[in-house]
Amino acid sequence: MTETTSPPTLEMVAAVAGVSRSTVSRVVNESPKVTPEAVAAVNAAISKLGYVPNRVARSLASRRTFSIALVIPETTARFFADPFFASVVQGAAFHLAKTEYTLTLLISSETDPEKTRRYLQGGNVDGALILSHHTDDRSYSELAGRLPVVFGGRPMSQEGEDAYVVDADNRAAAEQATRHLIGRGRTRIAHIAGRPNMGASVDRLDGWRRALNAAGLASDLVEGGDFTPHGGADAMRRLLERDPGLDAVFAASDQMASGALAVLKERGLRVPADVAVVGFDNNDFARSSTPPLTTVEQPPTAQGAKMAEVLVRLIEGEEVEHFTLLETRLIVRESS
Amino acid sequence: MTETTSPPTLEMVAAVAGVSRSTVSRVVNESPKVTPEAVAAVNAAISKLGYVPNRVARSLASRRTFSIALVIPETTARFFADPFFASVVQGAAFHLAKTEYTLTLLISSETDPEKTRRYLQGGNVDGALILSHHTDDRSYSELAGRLPVVFGGRPMSQEGEDAYVVDADNRAAAEQATRHLIGRGRTRIAHIAGRPNMGASVDRLDGWRRALNAAGLASDLVEGGDFTPHGGADAMRRLLERDPGLDAVFAASDQMASGALAVLKERGLRVPADVAVVGFDNNDFARSSTPPLTTVEQPPTAQGAKMAEVLVRLIEGEEVEHFTLLETRLIVRESS
DNA sequence: TTGTAGGCGTTATCAA
DNA sequence: TTGATAACGCCTACAA
């Protein structure tokens, strides 16, 4: 049985109820200006026929789809391997469940970014949530002008004022992490920065510097990594060359911190006795390194929910702030 | 800048290209019957205007959406906690990437099954993939008559001939697992069955029985569990009461097997020395139990891919087999 | 090969 | 409050 019988239309409901299509439409859309009798007749007809509004036709006429896309610019495999994504999706889905919007997950496999773009621009959705975690992928930045779009994760810093962004409060988090180090009595606190073209890197560097300046400490010990353990290790070596007596390192990612940890061990420096280390992300690298890393936890679920909220408000035409900063939490472990 | 400028239409392209809308439509849909000049003119106009077809309008007119839904009747949290789901999605997405179809993930939170149903019946998708893992949820079975639907996971056995199902070959897998036990020299092999109202349970019980019968062994030692560790423990107790000398147990799920393991340890029986244990699923319960469980691995990625393939063929009007059985793999660990 | 015209199922705009 | 009637953007016979 594949006989998918063609579904009843609004017009058929109108016929059965003995009213016009307009009236049926009004009832379906809960317009207040309909007599109770008409409402009753229409509802009776609806349940008699098992009528379900055709959302496609509705979309075409009203120019609204009530569905929004969550675009994940990663391969499916990587997406599911990363708990960060899962949590963001969860947060978004949870928020959207309270609204009339439906979430469509678009996993844009690298093979066909075009398909995704056509889908997004083709009027299928009222807006899009775009995750750009650990990536400076700007392939979707142009979309922002054609469709309400909210970026999440760690987007470009530049990219103009027209973008809406929900992100962790990197600056405040970095400041807090650095203050934590200062509070532990450290005075030569170095920083391993992320890629300079990413907003997150800049903000974290900035937060680190602020905390040091506020404490009257020097903020000269910076070396750049690339968010990988290897990059972190290289940066650590350069830092030790510049100042063998440094007593703390704040890395802009757990992966870089773990690279730094390896170098410190290789040099016979004890963590945290000789050098305290703090990372950023609170991912598996932080939990499973030796010693476990003190790090900054980002709230992915909250981020997903907030992204959805911002997008919905945007779609509904509300004034929305371009930047929404999420609070982070310092998780103190044995490395500091 | 939220000025979402209204996008160019097919009609505008026609005007610029100096042809009729039909011709533009033909070019867009790659109809062979268009002169090269026309094609060139239209394509020029398209890229000049940045035209992207409105899929909603196209859907309304053609009654095709080229998108299919993957319905997950679980909460978002549970969905992401279960690697089984993730893999199925991955498989489906991977297969669909090769087609012109788009995958829409519908996480039907238990709060609003109605929203999901309306979405599915509202003409938003050409078909649906429905996962009913560990669940005898029949809330979507009615959909099958109104929309091409493929069920996956462990669906009802009954439910009529009109359903399309892709599932692991439970019977063969159970048979193989039991033969493995027989091969290890076991002769009193018990079975802890799953809920009797689930097709998977019935098939596994059947496979177990077949293997025993073929070997000339008795197949009387069956007790039912409910797919939980607790249920498995209770069943194990009953089995030991009935035959304290049993030397092997095949459980219809890893969770039940882990419950059985606990009871065996409690009774001072060694695994596998005294009693060999085999589970089903190859999930975390199997890997992290003591000893690690020999179990049956189901191929969730393959299942997702196969489900997508079957659905697409169904949508395209091909003849498709109602049941597709996936091969499984026995993973031998220390419990047997 | 190309164009014309009608229709897909709703919503929206006016009159009535 | 209700009902014609015209969009919405595209597809598709059918005709030319």
Q: Which two tokens stand for residue A331?
A: 């998780």
Cβ contact, residue pair A104, B104, below 8 Å: yes
Q: How confident is the model at residue B20 (pLDDT cuts 50, 70, 90)?
A: very high
Does residue B334 sit in helix, strand or coil? coil
Q: What is the 3-state secondary structure (H, E, C) of A212-281?
A: HHHCCCCCCCEEECCCCHHHHHHHHHHHHHHCCCCCEEEECCHHHHHHHHHHHHHCCCCCCCCCEEECCE
pLDDT in tens, A35-89: 999 999 999 999 999 999 999 999 999 999 989 998 877 776 777 767 777 788 8
> Considering CB atoms only, which of B7, B76, B86 is closest to A80?
B86
Cβ contact, residue pair A56, B60, below 8 Å: yes
Cβ contact, residue pair B124, A52, below 8 Å: no
Best residue of B52, B150, B316 to probe chain A, by most A CBs closer than 10 Å: B52
Q: What is the 3-state secondary structure (H, E, C) of B237-279?
A: HHHHHHCCCCCEEEECCHHHHHHHHHHHHHCCCCCCCCCEEEC
Cβ contact, residue pair B314, A2, below 8 Å: yes
The pLDDT > 70 percentage for chain B reads: 90
A133 CA → C5 C1’, Å: 50
> Considering CB atoms only, which of B52, B109, B317 is closest to A97?
B109
pLDDT at A3 over 70: no
CB B303 within 8 A of CB B166: yes
pLDDT at B126 over 80: yes
A307 CA → C11 C1’, Å: 30
B20 CA → D16 C1’, Å: 14
Cβ contact, residue pair A145, B4, below 8 Å: yes
d(C-alpha B55, C-alpha B331), whole Å: 46
Ordered domains of chain B (ranges, CATH): 10-53 (1.10.260.40), 67-168+300-327 (3.40.50.2300), 170-298 (3.40.50.2300)
Cβ contact, residue pair B53, A118, below 8 Å: yes
Instruction: Kindly state the DSSP code that residue A336 receives in the 8-state scheme.
Output: -
pLDDT of residue B2: 43
Contacts of A79 (CB under 8 A, 6+ apart): A72, A85, A107
> Considering CB atoms only, which of A3, A67, A122 is closest to B54?
A122
Instruction: Indicate the pTM of the whole model.
Output: 0.79
d(C-alpha B29, C-alpha A116), whole Å: 18
Q: Which two tokens stand for residue B117?
A: 């149903």
Which stretches of chain B are DSSP H helices? 10-17, 21-28, 36-49, 55-62, 76-81, 83-97, 113-121, 170-183, 199-214, 229-242, 254-266, 284-288, 300-315
Q: What Cα–Cα distance (Å) separates residue B172 from each residue in B169, B205, B206?
A: 6, 11, 9
Least confident of A45-49, A220-224, B150-154: B150-154
Task: Return the H-helix or E-strand segment holding A18.
Answer: none
Q: Which two tokens stand for residue A69?
A: 């896309």
Which nucleotides on chain C have any atom < 7 A from a protein Cβ? 1-13
Nucleotide nearest to B61 (CA to C1'): C8
What is the least distance, in Å, from the CA of A34 to any CA of chain B? 24
Q: How confident is the model at residue A150 (pLDDT cuts 50, 70, 90)?
A: very high
Q: Which two tokens stand for residue A237?
A: 């070596």
Residue nearest to nucleotide D3 (CA to C1'): A20
- A154-180 mean pLDDT: 81
d(C-alpha B249, C-alpha B336), whole Å: 9
Q: How confident is the model at residue A153 (pLDDT cuts 50, 70, 90)?
A: low
d(C-alpha B127, C-alpha B102), whole Å: 11
Position of tokens 């031998």? B332
Best residue of A4, A28, A101, A164 to probe chain B, by most B CBs closer than 10 Å: A4
Task: Return the H-helix or E-strand segment holding A117.
Answer: helix A113-121
Instruction: Kindly state the DSSP code that residue A59 receives in the 8-state scheme.
Output: H
Q: How confident is the model at residue A102 (pLDDT cuts 50, 70, 90)?
A: confident
Determine phi and psi for A187, rounding to 5 degrees. -125, -25
Contacts of A283 (CB under 8 A, 6+ apart): A83, A84, A254, A255
Q: What Cα–Cα distance (Å) separates residue A119 from each residue in A107, B55, B237, B240?
A: 12, 8, 56, 59
Best residue of B28, B67, B101, B102 to probe chain A, by most A CBs closer than 10 Å: B102
How far is the first Cα of chain A from the last one, in angstroms, to the nearest whole number?
66
Rounded to the nearest 5 degrees, what angle is found at the Cα of B252, between the Cα atoms of B142 and B108? 35
How far is the first Cα of chain B from the last one, in angstroms, to the nearest whole number?
65
pLDDT of residue B43: 94
Q: How confident is the model at residue B1 (pLDDT cuts 50, 70, 90)?
A: very low
Measured between beta carbons, the chain B residues lying within 8 angstroms of A105 are 103-105
pLDDT in tens, B259-286: 999 999 999 999 999 999 999 989 888 9
Residue nearest to nucleotide C10 (CA to C1'): A58
- Comparing C-alpha atoms, which of A63, A57, A58, A127 is closest to residue A99? A127
pLDDT in tens, B68-118: 998 877 776 777 667 777 788 888 988 988 888 888 888 766 566 777 888
Beta strands in chain A (DSSP E): 67-72, 102-107, 127-132, 149-153, 164-168, 189-193, 222-224, 248-251, 276-278, 295-297, 323-326, 329-331
d(C-alpha B62, C-alpha B43), whole Å: 22
- Comparing C-alpha atoms, which of B180, B178, B154, B181 is closest to residue B167? B154
Nucleotide nearest to A60 (CA to C1'): D8
DSSP secondary structure string for all residues of B99-121: SS-EEEEEE--TT-HHHHHHHHH
pLDDT of residue A118: 83
pLDDT in tens, A231-284: 999 999 999 999 999 999 999 999 999 999 999 999 999 999 999 999 998 988
- Comparing C-alpha atoms, which of A88, A170, A127, A66 is closest to residue A314? A127
**Beta-ladder partners of B129:** B70, B150
pLDDT of residue A11: 94
pLDDT in tens, B171-200: 999 999 999 999 999 999 999 999 887 778
pLDDT of residue A111: 61
d(C-alpha B76, C-alpha B145), whole Å: 27
